[in-house]
Every structure is written in C-alpha cells, then in structure tokens.
Structure 1
Amino acid sequence: MPPAFPALLSAFQFAPRYDVAVASRRGAGAVQRAENQDNFVVIDFAGKACHLLGQEPRHIQLAGWPAGHGRVAVLDGMGGHGHGREAAEAVAAGLLTVPPCHSAAELTRHLDVLHAELQRHFAFDTGARPGTTLTLLELPASGQPLLYHVGDSRLYEIGLTRAMPLTVDHVPATAAAMSGRIDERSWWRQVHGAHSPQIAQAFILGNTFSNPAQLSDPLYELTPLKLPSWLCRLPDRRVLPLREDAVYLLATDGFWSCAAPDSFVSRWPGLLAGAPDAAAMVARLFTALDATPPEGLQADNLTALVLRPLAGMANAHADETALPDAARSGAGRGDRS
C-alpha cells in the first residue's frame, strides 16, 4: 500500500510569476481511508507535468507545451460511487491532453469534450457512474488566470486576516439557494458551518441541478444569472484576478470535514503567516491537522495545492487594453479584507 504521507512536491518551474507546491495523502490521524482517491495536476511553465497514478506521483514532459503557460488542479474521486480513484486518475490524465487555453470559453469547450468522452468510457452495465470534483486554474503566459470549477473541492484566497472561498460548492444547499428556498445565512451555515458528503454535480458523474429528480449527463454551469445575488460574483468559470498580498489554496474537502469547518478555516491566515514559500505553507496545513486536529475530523483524503503570486509579477500581463493611465490605475479596485 502507498505510504499515508508521501513527499511534498515543489520542484516546479513557475518563476518569476508564481511559487507552487502540492501534497496529497490518504488522510490524517490514526483512522484513514484504505486508498487515496484524490488527485492533482501540475503543468509548469516548462511543460513538466505531474499527477497521481496508482497513488504515486507520475512526472512526464509534455511535447510542444508553450513556455510560460501553466495549469494546476485538484480532484476528489467519489468513492461512494465506486471507481472514485480511477475516475480522478482518468480526468487528471485527460487534463494533460487538453491544449493550453486562453479564455474560459475555450477551456470549457475542451473540458466538456473530456467529460463526455469519460462518461462513455465509464458507462458500466451495472452500478452507479463514478465521478470526481475538479477545481482548476489555467495560467496563461499573457493574461490573468482562468478558473474552472465542478464539485465541492474549493479555491480559497488567504490573506493576512481572512480565508475567503472563491468557489461555490455544488451541493444540495446551493440548489436550494438558487431556487430561493434558503437565504444567505442558511446557505452559509449548511455549506461552511457544517460538512455533508452529499454532492449535486461532479465531473463524469453529471448533475442534479437541472432536474433534482434524476441525474443528467451534461455539466451544469453556475453562472451569475443562475446564482442568487449574494453568490453571483462567484461563477464556476471566470477570469480570476490575483492579489499579490494573498496566497491561493486549491484543496479537497478533507480539510474541512469536521464539526465546525468555518472555525478551522479561520485559523489558516495565522497558520500561514510568515511562511517563506508555498512548500512551507502546504507543510503547515498538513502539520496542523496532525498536531491540532479540529473537533469531529472525519477520515478523508487530503490534497492541498498552494499557488503564491510572486511580487510584481502576478498581474504583469493582465491588462491588454490601451487605457489612459488614470483609468487603468482605477480599474478593478474594490473593498478587500
């Protein structure tokens, strides 16, 4: 059986724009899952790719990958449906075949094709179809990152005082919010104040958003028009401006599978403060689970990928328009905590 605590991976070439590190483990504590059904994908600026195959890191060089373009993602295979690890492995391997994308629409087209191809591949005669979450950042050489999100893994922006989720969980509570059956406070309490293994959509699996009474094959994009007003700024697929004074965590739900997830997440800014690099940040996240686990921590797989913008380079190519200096300097400013 693969070790519960494989080596942290950080020898990636994302300079001078980013610092990236990732680790994926069967779990924390004495009681752990039998296998790691999580996965991740890293393609660095030199076209060197890494993902898990058979629960072990696999490193390959992608032919023809353009210099300066990157891709990072985390995946959580759905073990309750069988073949969860294989589903996550299949999507991770498929992401290595998706060409570099420069718009959310282009990325969506390629991932829709991959989703449909893998649905056919996993079309078993008996048993439920497997699935996996997918939270992905595409990192073009010119322009801001692109976010693509399916499932209940998350992207967090972690600043000095606050860890803010930048994705909306694809869970029954979100369906209830979109239909107006629960308000913002109830949604937050159900999604971030507690943890439930139920999911409303996953890659390969399909979705129950479009028809709660049955599983539909396509992926259902949560757009600003579909989401309630208090979530409409967090659509699934969008351009994602980065802050140089924050770090970005892509993680699977093992990190908040506990009695009070929001209380545990609120510790992350202090936990990461002063860490010299992305590798140290990933190490601190895992160490905190081992040393001071939150109350009610459940046995689950754990994957954490930290992307740290490097000073002066995070948005070096973000503005491709010819605006006057005054207009450019005022664009995109908002209240950030």
Structure 2
Amino acid sequence: MPTNRPSMPTAFEPLHDFQFAPRYDVAVASRRGAGLLQRPENQDNFLVIDAHGTASWLEGQELRRTTLPGWPAGHGRLAVLDGMGGHGHGREAAEVVASGLLAIPPCGTASALAEQLDELHARLQRQFASRAGARPGTTLTMLELPAGGAPILYHVGDSRLYEIDATRASALTVDHVPATAAALGGRIDERDWWKQVHGEHAPQIAQAFILGNAFSKPAQLSDPLYELAPWNLPSWLGGLADRRVLALRQDAVYLLATDGFWSCATPAAFVARWPALLGGLPDAASMVGRLFAAMDEAPPEGLQPDNLTALVLRPLLCHPDETALPSDALS
C-alpha cells in the first residue's frame, strides 16, 4: 500500500480533506492534551477511511495515510480509540487496532461488522498473550458508513458518540464502566447511574478492546467482548445498544470523542456548553477547532491531564433510507 507520513495538523487546523461529499462533512484532531499539564505521549488514535478509500490514522503519534486498493466507492469508516496506558503499551494497543481496522472489509450490517471485530479482538489477544505484564486495551467507538445506507455503530469502552443539536448534547453510547456493571446487576437505578457516569468522572473501565470484559464475571476479566444490548440493558438504557443502526438527523452533528473532554470535576456542565459552542459554525473542521480551543481558553473546572481526540461528522443531505427499523438493530 502506498503511504506517506505528513505531520499532524495542530488542534486548530483539524484534518478535514476527506472525500465524503455529498453525504457527510468530516474532520478530526488528536493531541496529547490541553493546558500546561499534559501526558508524556498521545495514546489516543483515530481512523478515517473516506468514500474514495483514503485512510488516515496515527502511528508513532504521527499522521499516516494510504489508499486502500479495491475499497468500494461511497463506503466510509470512522473510529476513535483511547489506549489504556495504565495497563501498559496503551499507545501500541490503539495503534494495532487502528491498523487492524484497515484490513476489515467494508460491512453492510451490524452483525457482519461485529463478526469482523470480534475476530480482530480475539486475534490481538492471542498476539499479546506471549508478552510479559498485564494485557493492554483500548476503547473503540466507530461508525461504519455503507454507501447509500444508514450508519452502523460499534462501541467498546468509555469513549463516546454524541448527537449535538441547537439545544442539547446527547450521548448515544453507554460507557463500559463499573457503574454500568452495577446497573446491569440491578444494584443502582437510572439516577445513580447518570450521576456516576455523566455527573462525575473516574478513570475506571469494565471493558476494552483486546483487554476483555468484567461484565460477565465482575470478579475477573473474561476474554470475549460483552455486547450491551436491549436484552441485558435496563429499560432506561435499552435504546443505546453497542451495536446498532443509527438514524442521523439533518439538524444535528455527531461527535466521536475520547474521555479527555470530560475528565473534569463536573463533566455534564462542560458537555452542556457544546451546543452553544458549535452553533453557527459552517463546517466540521470549525467545530473540531472550536472544541479544542475551548479546552485551552476556557477549560472545565478540575480538568485532568489526558489525551484528546475529537471527530465530527456533519450530515450534508437528508437520505430517506437512513431510518433505523427495530430489526436493523439486531441485524
């Protein structure tokens, strides 16, 4: 595959030269953090494969790009990843998953995408099994964008997908954290879950790609990924399954982001600023730039040093086929 390694644009110059028109406008940026206290390296990553098969991701904290041979015109793929440095080799884990996504063929259904990703997860677990130390992990929040079809969500970890309109930023994913495990077991209710997950922030995770899950057996890590779905989620989270087809709104934009953007004392208060922050901006690149500028110029109270990755997807045209039927979420 022909490749090159241009420098990653600054946070105020997001990467945005992707070919998604006439359906979408996409931009992304990733950096070590905001403010004076920053982590020594960026363990986040992202992947963008545009409708012409041009792929962009980070390797060694630098931008890498290639053109995928045989990629079908009109199909796209977007992902953000947050490597778990606390378990060792976090940056490597995020890089190897981003690289692995390049080899996954375009998928047209949620079940086909899940099958490919479960296979990648198992293969990477075997790859890391022979290494000393704890097994690394990474979050993975991604959208598969079939040509002419509705986007497909796949989610593992505590990065998030947000839908942002003129008045509200709504999380479309459920964090894979201990509070969610407690909710699955009926030990906390909706109010307590929201307070622990969105009202405060704790750097704990109950599931990650490569690492495995602590949902099926809370006392130990299990190898497979544990899908959060309508049949195991409480009713008040049942519409936020990890693997489902999405119906995008023409009057909203969609943000895939790592948890550095809400690693602060009052996450919900900062997230509530986003509609006004992004309102009136003309394109995805301006929105990504504004998010990073806010982290530098008006950071939330109690901001913790963490890596930052933000990817904005802005629908350009309304497509009547982008309507999620109940059966689509289980396909």
Indicate the TM-score class for this superposition, using the shorter chain for normalisation: over 0.9
User: C-alpha displacement at 1:127, in angstroms?
Assistant: 1.0
Report the equivalent of 2:73: 67
- 5 Å-filtered alignment, 1:229-268, equals 229-268=235-274
Q: CA deviation at 1:143?
A: 1.4
Q: Tell me, which stretches of 5 or more residues in structure 2 are unaligned?
A: 1-6, 327-331
Q: Answer yes or no: is the 8 Å Cα contact 2:9–2:29 preserved in 1.
A: no
Equivalent residue in structure 2 for 1:42, among 29, 33, 48: 48
Residue 301 of structure 2 corresponds to 295
1:55 and 2:88 are equivalent in the alignment: no
SS in structure 2 at match of 1:127: coil
- Look up the SS of the partner of 2:37 in the other structure: coil
- Of 156, 166, 177, 2:183 maps to 177
Q: Provide, for residues 174-232 of structure 1, a one-character-per-residue CA deviation record: whole Å limited to 9, x for no partner.
A: 00011110000000000000000000000000000000111100000001010000000
Counterpart-to-counterpart distance in 2, 1:59 and 1:8: 15
| 2:282 corresponds to 1:269 | no
What is the CA-CA distance between 1:124 and the residue it aligns to?
Answer: 3.6
* Equivalent-residue separation in structure 2 for 1:319 and 1:290 (angstroms): 38
**Aligned partners of 1:106 and 1:87: how far apart in 2?**
23
Match of 1:219 among 217, 225, 240: 225
Task: Note closer, same or farther for the CA distance 1:224–1:30 as it changes in structure 2 (3 Å cut).
Answer: same
Select 1:24's aligned residue among 30, 48, 67: 30
Name the CA distance, whole Å, in 2 between partners of 1:26 and 1:192.
23
Q: Is 1:126 the equivalent of 2:126?
A: no
**What is the one-letter code of the residue matched to 1:121?**
Q
Q: Does 1:318 align with 2:322?
A: yes
What residue identity is the alignment partner of 2:138? Answer: T
Q: What is the CA RMSD across the aligned residues, in angstroms?
A: 1.6
Aligned equivalents of 2:283, 2:225: Cα separation in 1: 36
Relative to the length of structure 1, the TM-score reads 0.92
* Conserved? CA contact 2:110–2:245, under 8 Å: yes
**How many correspondences in the alignment?**
319
Match of 2:3 in 1: none
Partner of 1:205: 211
1:84 matched to 2:90? The reply is: yes
Q: Deviations over 1:4-55 (max 9, x none)?
A: 9465100000000000000000000000000000000000000000000000
**2:291 is paired with a residue of what secondary structure?**
helix
Q: Report the CA distance between 1:126 and its aligned residue.
A: 2.6
**Partners of 1:168 and 1:318 in 2: how far apart?**
22
SS in 1 for 2:303: coil
Runs of 5+ unmatched residues, structure 1:
321-330, 333-337
What is the alpha-carbon distance in structure 2 between the residues aligned to residue 242 and residue 4 of structure 1?
Answer: 28
1:115-137 C-alpha deviation (Å, 9 max, x unpaired): 01111111144311000000000
Structure 2 vs 1, CA of residues 125 and 283 (structure 1 numbering), >3 Å: closer, same or farther? closer
Task: Give the whole-Å Cα distance in 2 for the aligned partners of 1:181 and 1:56.
Answer: 44
| Distance apart, 1:316 and its partner CA | 4.6
Length-normalised TM-score, structure 2: 0.94
> 1:290 Cα shift?
0.4
Q: CA contact under 8 A between 1:145 and 1:240: conserved in structure 2? A: yes
Question: 2:221, 2:234 → 1: CA distance?
Answer: 23
CA contact 2:166–2:275 (8 Å) conserved in 1: yes
Distance 2:187 2:122 in 1: 31
- The SS at the match of 1:122 is helix
| 1:142 matched to 2:148 | yes
**Aligned position for 2:192:** 186
Shift of 1:3: 8.3
1:308 equivalent in alignment to 2:314: yes
Cα drift, residue 311 of structure 1: 3.1
Q: Which residue of 2 aligns with 1:11?
A: 17
Residue identity matched to 1:170? H
Task: Confirm or deny: 8 A CA contact 2:161 2:254 kept in the other structure.
Answer: yes
